[in-house]
Structure 1
Amino acid sequence: MKELKVPFEIGDSCTFTKTISESDVYMFAGITGDFSQMHTNEAFMNTTKYKTRIVHGVLTFALGSTASTLIQTQAKAEMPSVSYGYDRLRFVKPVYFGDTVTATYTIIEIDNENLKSVGKVEVVNQKGEVVVVANHILKFFPLDEE
């Protein structure tokens, strides 16, 4: 029987880049029901320290999930996996409409015994400023053998 192991090496990495538009924010608000004035009311936000609307932190964070899918594709993972959760998630800086953000997913830990990996998720804006960080756990599981 073939020994099962996580299909990554420490340091494996991939990125996903996207410019976040106003329509992205409003579609996300519609899906989640989060129409906070922080994201939808420009006049109100002009009175705050931000001076303009900001993107939902969770929307920005979700781009790390795309990167986690891409790294599995890049590794040509034969075993399926599921997200086992995120640790140490922080929204470090605001993201504004029109910002271009890049999510980088880097493997920092491998647990072959339990078929898990931990990836460091770091999202930066077009200025290179870190806006979101988290650690992501992937749990792999073997396909049933007949």
Structure 2
Amino acid sequence: MTPIETEVARLQGLIGQEVGVANWITVDQAMIDQFADTTQDQQWIHVDPERAARETPFGGSIAHGFLTLSLASRFAYDCFAMADGQVMGINYGFNKLRFLNPVKAGARVRGRFVINSVKQRNATDMLRETGLTIEIEGQETPALIAEWLGLAVFGPAE
């Protein structure tokens, strides 16, 4: 079997199983402010903690949903290694994505991964759909749930 065929077979045996739980990351106000600067999204619910404490039900500022989502890449680094023969991984998008609970400044979040499906597309590409839940420490409702698509690219078979 080629390296891609070996990896496809391995992951197909894990469909429906949790395959990784990332380390906790604190989403502090500095991170939120940096994200706001980078994306030019300066909405006050993110960057004005005093006003957010007064005028929202959150008790302070909250992270951008896309900031929370962007941490998925970091969580994947915690949970997945490159397979033998794999030369790169490419973010291929999402089938579904729902933001369920805001992440308050100072909260800790982490990602949990479940293999939903995997298929070999051609001699070098494997498409994996991973169920992603980003949970908030101490909260029953997660920050978000998603079906994340990743393309694993393998070197040519020898």
Q: Per the shorter chain, which TM-score range? A: 0.7 to 0.9
Matches of 1:42 and 1:12, distance apart in 2? 36
- Give the count of matched residue pairs: 145
Deviation of the 1:118 alpha carbon:
0.5
Flag structure 1 segments of 5+ consecutive residues without an equivalent: none
Q: Amino acid of the residue matched to residue 121 of structure 1?
A: L
Residues 44 and 77 (structure 1 numbering): CA distance in 2 closer, same or farther, change over 3 Å? farther
2:56 match: 48
1:29 match: 36
Residues 49 and 77 (structure 1 numbering): CA distance in 2 closer, same or farther, change over 3 Å? farther
Determine if the alignment matches structure 1 residue 71 to structure 2 residue 83.
no
TM-score (norm 1): 0.85
Flag structure 2 segments of 5+ consecutive residues without an equivalent: none
Whether contact under 8 Å (1:64, 1:104) holds in the other structure is no
Whether contact under 8 Å (2:20, 2:80) holds in the other structure is no
Whether contact under 8 Å (1:101, 1:126) holds in the other structure is yes
Q: How does 1:52-131 map to 2 (within 5 A)?
A: 52-73=60-81, 76-79=83-86, 80-113=88-121, 115-129=126-140, 130-131=142-143
1:15 match: 21
Residues 60 and 143 (structure 1 numbering): CA distance in 2 closer, same or farther, change over 3 Å? same
Matches of 1:25 and 1:4, distance apart in 2? 39
The percentage of counterpart residues that share the same residue type is 21
Residues 25 and 116 (structure 1 numbering): CA distance in 2 closer, same or farther, change over 3 Å? same
Q: Secondary structure at the match of 2:71?
A: helix
Whether contact under 8 Å (1:108, 1:118) holds in the other structure is yes
TM-score (norm 2): 0.79
Q: C-alpha root-mean-square deviation of aligned residues, in Å?
A: 2.2
Matches of 2:42 and 2:85, distance apart in 1? 40
